[in-house]
Structure 1
């Protein structure tokens, strides 16, 4: 009996691809790059399962073009705003995601961004690589220490709480804003703020950890940036669209924002060119969950979900 067809829009880790190949006839994209909705619609015809990432949009038109064969969209991400869930539901297509297994890896990147922004790592690296370092100097590349600083976390979900746990070890005081206040045991002593504005005013370091969505587009705008304490640091490991790039670039240029650490960008990989000319920005290419262990776990969660669907069960990572 012929095996069902699966289309891989991106390359997964070898262990995950081997697991997929056990049950499916696998068709791979020609190149490992973000595919457009139209490209997926053309390349994945006849596939019962399509594997995508946050770099690929699966629109209503894509789903309609792949009907009636398509039955599962499996995305290597906890987020799902790149998939038209209403269209999937209407077509009876299941959507699988990868929650719960990437929080620790993303929190590590969060701390990397905070530390590199605070301690001017980009400038330091350029100084040494450019053979412009002339030895120790007491005032060379003075950064900002973290002990006693207030870390404001916008979005205190799993990733936000993991960032908070690590930041406490650096002596930071945790503040947060969330859609709803956490139970006391989950707050772990963090200070809750009822609005983003209140959080910004109490954030020496602002870290974006929220899942995104239209309600939070450009939540970091000129008005709210002005509320940050002078010399604050801005870190984003959530969604690029949450930042008004022009406003942040202006604040970095004026010095009101001391530095930024960014792992995600609006329109990535075509980031705002203004960031490239700023020495006080540490730029990272969307690698929040990029560890071998985490990407294996994410992929196997999708494989396990598909196995559960094949048994007639509802997997825990199924959205619709």
Structure 2
């Protein structure tokens, strides 16, 4: 009996895929860091029983229409906005993701950006490397104070809670905004719920950890940025489209806010000529929130196990919320 076929959209380590390989024929895109072309993904999906995708791989209705054998998509990410969920439901395809295992790693990266933005770390490092450091001045690269400052977290899920947990170590006052109150996070971290506009007006650091939905898309627009303090910093470790990038560029250029630390962008990879990258008060990273070796290995293993579960007719470990109550598909 032939094994089911699973297509993986990047070259991944075999060690983390061994359990899946015992139950399926694995096919992989030849590159680790270059996205699979959409036409190649469509052709491979047409023959696949399972897909292991990255957050940058668009899984469209058109692709699913031409993939009659497909039973499961395991997205190697917390978010799954790259997948047409309505189409997946219509075609009877399970969708899984990798929540929780990357929360602490992504929170670490958020704090890296927050500290780097607040203390002008990138600009100062470039200054030294360029040989421009010829003396010491009392306000040279003087940035914003982090300890005992106020932080506002928009999106108090597992990543937002992990960010708040770290804020306690900096003796910060913690506010958050979420669609619904998170009593467990409040009890653990002392975070206080606030209306979004009040949060924007009162905190020193705004950290975005919310999922991308129709409700959250463009939530940080010109009006939101106008509400922030001129000394405040915006940190985005969620999804690029949460922010109106043209409005952010204008706010940063006109010093309406002090700085931004960005790991995500509306279009990725962002071009070197993008206006945001021309600003000294922007710290930009290439979407590496969960990029710690142990975390990425765990994400690969979990995605593979989700595919194996569905192909064997059992409930996957981490189906997306919309699919958690659905029966296993055969």
User: In 2, Cα distance between the equivalents of 1:136 and 1:117?
Assistant: 21
Match of 2:144 in 1: 144
Across the aligned residues of Structure 1 and Structure 2, the Cα RMSD in angstroms comes to 1.7
Matches within 5 A, 1:226-265: 226-265=226-265
Stretch moving more, 126-135 or 14-23: 14-23
Matches within 5 A, 1:7-46: 7-32=7-32, 33-46=34-47
Asked if 1 retains the 8 angstrom alpha-carbon contact of 2:52 and 2:74, the reply is yes
Asked if 2 retains the 8 angstrom alpha-carbon contact of 1:54 and 1:79, the reply is yes
Asked if 1 retains the 8 angstrom alpha-carbon contact of 2:261 and 2:283, the reply is yes
Asked if 1 retains the 8 angstrom alpha-carbon contact of 2:20 and 2:307, the reply is no
Match of 1:214 in 2: 214
Match of 2:186 in 1: 186
Question: Where does structure 1 lack aligned partners over 5 or more consecutive residues?
Answer: none
Asked if 2 retains the 8 angstrom alpha-carbon contact of 1:155 and 1:210, the reply is yes
Match of 2:315 in 1: 314
Please state whether the residue corresponding to 1:226 is helix, strand or coil.
helix
Please state whether the residue corresponding to 1:251 is helix, strand or coil.
helix
TM-score by length of 1: 0.94
1:200 Cα deviation from its structure 2 partner = 0.5
Please state whether the residue corresponding to 1:89 is helix, strand or coil.
helix
Match of 2:327 in 1: none
User: In 2, Cα distance between the equivalents of 1:139 and 1:185?
Assistant: 38
1:14 Cα deviation from its structure 2 partner = 4.1
Please state whether the residue corresponding to 1:201 is helix, strand or coil.
helix
Please state whether the residue corresponding to 2:186 is helix, strand or coil.
helix
Match of 2:289 in 1: 288
User: In 2, Cα distance between the equivalents of 1:11 and 1:104?
Assistant: 25
User: In 2, Cα distance between the equivalents of 1:242 and 1:310?
Assistant: 35
User: In 2, Cα distance between the equivalents of 1:124 and 1:21?
Assistant: 48
Stretch moving more, 149-158 or 36-45: 36-45
Asked if 1 retains the 8 angstrom alpha-carbon contact of 2:186 and 2:192, the reply is no
Matches within 5 A, 1:132-211: 132-183=132-183, 186-187=186-187, 188-194=189-195, 196-211=196-211
Asked if 2 retains the 8 angstrom alpha-carbon contact of 1:73 and 1:95, the reply is yes
Distance 1:131 1:223, change over 3 A: same
Matches within 5 A, 1:82-101: 82-101=82-101
Match of 2:62 in 1: 61
1:44 Cα deviation from its structure 2 partner = 3.2
Please state whether the residue corresponding to 1:318 is helix, strand or coil.
coil
User: In 2, Cα distance between the equivalents of 1:80 and 1:38?
Assistant: 20
Match of 1:277 in 2: 278
User: In 2, Cα distance between the equivalents of 1:220 and 1:172?
Assistant: 23
Deviations 1:226-247 (A, max 9, x none): 1111211000000100111111
Stretch moving more, 92-101 or 16-25: 16-25
Distance 1:184 1:23, change over 3 A: closer
Aligned residues: 318
Please state whether the residue corresponding to 1:216 is helix, strand or coil.
coil
Stretch moving more, 40-49 or 164-173: 40-49
User: In 2, Cα distance between the equivalents of 1:258 and 1:13?
Assistant: 41
Asked if 2 retains the 8 angstrom alpha-carbon contact of 1:36 and 1:57, the reply is no
Match of 2:50 in 1: 49
1:56 Cα deviation from its structure 2 partner = 0.4
1:37 Cα deviation from its structure 2 partner = 4.1
1:306 Cα deviation from its structure 2 partner = 2.7
1:35 Cα deviation from its structure 2 partner = 3.4
